Amino acid sequence: MRVTIRLRLFQPGAFQVGALGIGLAVTAAVCPVARGAEHVTLKNGFELDCVRREPVGDKVRLYFAGKNAGTGEGSNYLEVAADAVVRVETVEDVPEPVIGMAMEADVVSLKAPPTKLEMHAMLAQAGAAHHIDEDLLASVVRAESAGQVRAVSRAGARGLMQLMPETASAMGVEDSFRADENIAGGTAYLDALLNRYHDNVALALAAYNAGPRAVDRYHGVPPYRETREYVARVIREFNRRKQLSQISQAR
């Protein structure tokens, strides 16, 4: 049965980055620390507002407005490779918090992301509806938007699972900035890709990133650096979540 196949695929360690031959070495110089609110553009097209940047080894932490954002303690941040930052622009106003903000029960704000509990419920519901592991969906959300409800890519993809307008429309999504609709639409689209590629997760993820035509053209994961890094990133995050789950259960 299809569900059994998917459950067998989604086991800890089932997906290994090395098997795809994908390297993620970083050699760029460290980005300087920011002094004020900034609009940051990443190499993959994401545009983020942060209150400051901080170099951490060969990576940079982008801190978002919120609790203790000025010091980093207890604040929200996204860690990226130093060379992933292609442009930084100063903005006049400090942005509203974009991660970890509380919300009223059963209300999804256009400005604030869902709480961890709400996100868990949405991913679990979508995963159950399409027989897809919740941890895989969570890994896609992390890779696509870092949990930002209002994320918009340079190409125009929107929301948590970065749906293009035409994809959102095809999946019945009316508002890509509503977390529940975006997750439902993104999961339905991933389900369609898994069906198309006979539950081959790597191919489905590659098609989610680069489009089915690219995967069909190359008869596998396309030789695009962005796509290969994307597939590796999702798989690595999925394995990390499963390993943490195993450790938690062992305790």
Any idea which residue has 């789950």 for tokens? 245
160, 179 Cβ separation under 8 angstroms: yes
C-alpha closest to that of 146 among 219, 65, 234: 234
Any idea which residue has 């489009």 for tokens? 211
pTM for this structure?
0.62
pLDDT tens-place values along the chain, 251 residues long: 333 335 434 444 555 444 444 333 322 222 333 345 777 887 776 666 778 888 988 888 877 654 444 444 444 667 788 888 888 887 654 334 333 332 232 333 344 568 899 999 999 999 999 999 999 999 999 999 999 999 999 889 999 999 999 999 999 999 999 999 999 999 999 999 999 999 999 999 999 999 999 999 999 999 999 999 999 999 999 999 999 888 888 87
What does the alpha-carbon distance between residue 106 and residue 127 come to, in Å, rounded to a whole number?
19
Phi and psi torsions of 128, nearest 5°:
-65, -35
Give the containing element (helix H, strand E) for 49: strand 47-50
In order of their start, the domains of the chain are 2-18+101-250 (1.10.530.10), 38-90 (no CATH)
Q: Which residues are catalytic?
A: 144
The DSSP bridge partners found for residue 48 are 40
Give the containing element (helix H, strand E) for 119: helix 116-130
Mapping DSSP to helix (H, G, I), strand (E, B) and coil, where does residue 63 land?
Answer: strand
Give the CB-side neighbour count of residue 46, counting CA atoms within 13 A: 25
